[in-house]
Structure 1
Amino acid sequence: MSDLIIVLAKVNDNSGSQRLALFSVDSTATGLTKNLLNSTDQTRKLAKLMFTDVEATCISSEDDVTEAMQKTFLKSCIGLSNEMVGGAERLREDTLEYVKMRMQFGRSIASFQVTKHKATDMLADVELAKSAAYYAAAAFDDGESDIAATASIAKASASEAYMQTAINAVQMHGGIGFTWDNDTHLWFKEQKVQKYF
């Protein structure tokens, strides 16, 4: 777990109405309870945090919370898109290496037409998603006005590419792709979780 936790919370202002504020909380603070959650994706730990009279430092002004949260969401969306593209690309590369060495009927399964079609689909999916994810990152850096739509397109494209690549990878690996002797199922589980973030 990180050393510092950023928390979005409702607070009462001087007029008695509620507003949103951002707080930083030390991860070792008294009153903070952490319960690890089970997750399909074993590469990423998830936890439920409970705050009971925890000391926190307000790190936002009254006016900038919504904008800060929107920027954070967009950065996360773009970052996750690029992470998903990286996962899909690695999975595609590992799968291609596997099908080159796996022999069936006296020849490599990479020589079969159906394998070539799936490999081509994987390449097209990954490259299209990569273009969208890279463009979204560059557009964010350049301050593009329609970054919300660009980030959403990147996330949708990366999610679809990762899912299709994972499905094809499991099929191309055959039975070994479902076992603990091979990492393919871990990539598949990771994409299942990431598409919901």
Structure 2
Amino acid sequence: MDVGFSEEQHEIRRALREALDKHSDSAAVRAATATDHGYDTQVWRRLCDQTGLPGLAIPEQYGGVGLTFTEVAIACEEMGRALYPSPFLATCVQAAAALRHSRDADACERYLPGIAAGTTTAAFAHTEPTLTVRSAGGEHRLTGTATHVVDGAHADLVLVPARLDGAPALFALDAGASGLTRTSLPVLDQTRTQARLDLTETPARLIGTPGEPTGELLCRVREFTEVAIAAESVGGAFRCLDMTVEYAKLRVQFGRPIGSFQAVKHRCADMYVQLETARSALRYAAWTATEAESSGPGGDELPLMAPLVMTTATDTYRRIAEETIQLHGGVGFTWEHDAHLHLKRATTSALLFGPRSRQRERIAASAAI
């Protein structure tokens, strides 16, 4: 087992960091969140063309790069560091994973090339499959509501779980489908948009096979998403620590940089230790996700590692973001400083899948506690 990074993976990190430092500084992030889509579509298009970002883990036969989930985690970490608002999580992690694992060749041929090219954006309703389905003559129509769908307001494609004859099933909705109403929701974290989807006899296309295969697929998508969110959180926490250390070197009090005071040094050291713990867990979780993609023996640990690393990383991110605000003093509490953006991202990321108790129950069940 090797959970280290190769030179190629380090180069992917360097290239993404350089691009995001150029196109996603603080001013760009704030401007992007004020747009209708919640992200800068031109910057997203440029990143897609220059880096192949959306197709990292999509097979080459569908126009992707054909890499592994480890590279996806690296990308998420760098985007979390920059607080980059983009459709990457919903489109390239959730929807792409659902399609790849659906074993539906027609659906993959139809949707994955557009996702890999960055011309198709997608959303995945990760709520419980409570929508009702009416089937007739081979056609399916869905009725119900899906809430808190990340990037659901403007995605070109929406994947929603439902129950078909009592069995879990996955359906695809086109953006302009009749009976589909999408409403943007107010959110604490303005760098990640969410929406409510109301469906009334909305025509939908069945993806994959209903029943146990789709139930396993939904679990796998949730696990990949949890690792991706953990990666974002580790990247964001590192950015908070870097900002704090830099400020402690420059801020002078009583004739000395505040970083020379023992109390400040100890708090920064504690932040670093917590972050290294989360990063180590992330590396192992990303490896288990990669193993799960290739049906390797390490993939059996993903159901345990995914909720474990998400709870660890998001808790660490929140604590470090709070410390960042405190150690910056008065300026850390202002709207102009980025610390509050990180605290909001950390708080909302932890709750994307509902109460933390659910994840802890899954951890206990997987660990047979």
TM-score category of the 2 structures, normalised to the smaller one: over 0.9
Q: What's the CA shift for 1:151?
A: 1.5
2:250 to 101, 111, 114: 101
More divergent stretch after superposition (162-171 vs 146-155): 146-155
| Bigger Cα Rg | 1
Aligned pairs for 1:1-197 (under 5 A) are 1-12=154-165, 18-63=166-211, 64-143=213-292, 144=298, 145-197=300-352
Structure 2 SS opposite 1:40: coil
Question: Using the alignment, how far apart are the partners of 1:164 and 1:196 within structure 2?
Answer: 15
Identity of aligned residues (%): 36
Q: What's the CA shift for 1:168?
A: 0.8
Per-residue Cα deviation, 1:75-99 (whole angstroms, up to 9, x for no partner): 0111111111111111111121122
The aligned amino acid for 1:99 is A
Per-residue Cα deviation, 1:12-59 (whole angstroms, up to 9, x for no partner): 3xxxxx222100111232221111111111111111111112121100
The aligned amino acid for 2:334 is T
Per-residue Cα deviation, 1:161-189 (whole angstroms, up to 9, x for no partner): 10111111011011111111211011011
Structure 2 SS opposite 1:52: strand
Question: Using the alignment, how far apart are the partners of 1:141 and 1:196 within structure 2?
Answer: 25
Structure 1 SS opposite 2:329: helix
The aligned amino acid for 2:332 is G
Q: Which runs of 5+ in 1 are unaligned?
A: 13-17
Larger RCO, structures 1/2 (Cα 8 Å, 6+ apart): 1
Over 6 Å off, 4+ runs: none
Structure 2 SS opposite 1:55: strand
The TM-score with structure 1 as length reference comes to: 0.93
Structure 2 SS opposite 1:91: helix
What RMSD, in angstroms, separates the aligned Cα atoms of the two structures? 1.2
